[in-house]
Amino acid sequence: MSPRRVIGMDSGGTKLLGGVIDETLSVRDRVHRLWRGGGRREVLDLMVDAVEEARAAAPDAAAVGFGIPGLVDSGSGAVGFSTHLPLEGLPFRDLMEERLGLSVFVDNDANLAALAEQRAGAARGASHVAMLTLGTGIGGGLVLGGRLYRGAHGGAAELGHVVVDVNGPPCQGNCPNRGCLEVMASGTAIGREGAAVAEREPESALGKELLAGREITGALVTDLAHDGDPAAVGVLALIGERLGVGIASIVNAFNPEVVVIGGGVVAAGELLLEPARRVVAERALPPNRDQVRIVPAHFSDEAGMVGAGILALADGDV
């Protein structure tokens, strides 16, 4: 008998990534979509289109798991709030089951990334895990005592909205706060800080790219840092230090065994993680700071998709 197959979909702030996932957590027939603006209807249509593409390669798929960048009531499958997508107040699970004719399971995207890393990734074997997914924004997930921690109504573990600078800039999307970790240490923040440094240091590789008309993005800063540009390396060190301030608060609050850093920004590797670890060692309380491991995600930017598959394979019981 062939292993049971499901479809996992991870909806980020700028893109949708999905694939067919079996009980061994092997991923095949990946699909990828970019959000191109528009409202709720366009977002939902794009999700349905992506699922149908994956389903064409696996017509026996038994269910679909969705990770959503927002507060999700896992019991009702409704989206209570979403910082980056127009899904607030939507009975997401019921609507997608009606449109797809399949069983649908939904949870916060970073929750599912944490689940994937705890079950089969960088935190495998640990019972207390915190996850930060760094991309357009910063998502957070917690596994405590071996179970996903969702809070009273599905709104827990929004770790990207831990404040690291009370007088910092306004947060992104629909967040009403200021100085959140998300606005200070996300991929968007790397691009913003990189552009500022490029203006101040026109002779740097970053500065030359700006003068050439290139958009200074987080990915470009990371590439130049890996090539050895001191200005770009400095940007990643600054962002890593800010990340470390946020992680120190998470370590103090939850005493995790492992903090996993995922999302596209993890491509920066030790240029980002080493400064973060140094700040945690300076700021977090002992013995927590001495016991925690801060590691890159095993599944990289596919952790949310794999976690969505785990959710569907378990019929939502995670």
Ramachandran area for residue 48 (φ above 0: left; ψ -120 to 50: alpha; else beta): alpha
Local confidence pLDDT in tens for the 318 residues of the chain: 467 899 999 997 778 999 999 999 999 999 999 887 778 999 999 999 999 999 999 999 989 999 998 889 988 999 988 877 889 899 999 999 999 999 999 999 999 999 999 999 999 999 999 999 999 899 999 999 999 999 988 889 999 999 999 999 999 988 999 999 999 999 999 999 999 999 999 999 999 999 999 999 999 999 999 999 999 999 999 999 999 999 999 999 999 999 999 988 999 999 999 999 999 999 999 999 999 999 999 998 899 999 999 999 999 888
What local confidence, expressed as pLDDT, does residue 2 receive? 61
Domains and CATH numbers, the chain: 5-114+302-313 (3.30.420.40), 125-297 (3.30.420.40)
> Of 83, 108, 103, which Cα lies nearest the Cα of 93?
103
What local confidence, expressed as pLDDT, does residue 189 receive? 97
What local confidence, expressed as pLDDT, does residue 252 receive? 97
> Of 53, 65, 69, 79, which Cα lies nearest the Cα of 15?
69
What local confidence, expressed as pLDDT, does residue 7 receive? 97
How do beta strands 103-108 and 63-68 pair?
A: parallel
How many whole angstroms separate alpha carbon 68 and alpha carbon 279? 31
Work out the end-to-end distance of the chain between its first and last CA atoms, rounded to an integer number of angstroms. 25
How many whole angstroms separate alpha carbon 133 and alpha carbon 194? 20
How many whole angstroms separate alpha carbon 239 and alpha carbon 223? 15
253 contacts 220 by C-beta, under 8 angstroms: no
What local confidence, expressed as pLDDT, does residue 290 receive? 96
What local confidence, expressed as pLDDT, does residue 167 receive? 93
> Which strands, in side-by-side order, build the sheet including 5-11?
27-34, 15-22, 5-11, 63-68, 103-108
What local confidence, expressed as pLDDT, does residue 156 receive? 92
| 287: preceding bond cis by omega (within 30 degrees) | yes
- Percent helix, strand, coil in the chain (nearest 5)? 45, 25, 35
What local confidence, expressed as pLDDT, does residue 12 receive? 78
Residues found in the chain: 318
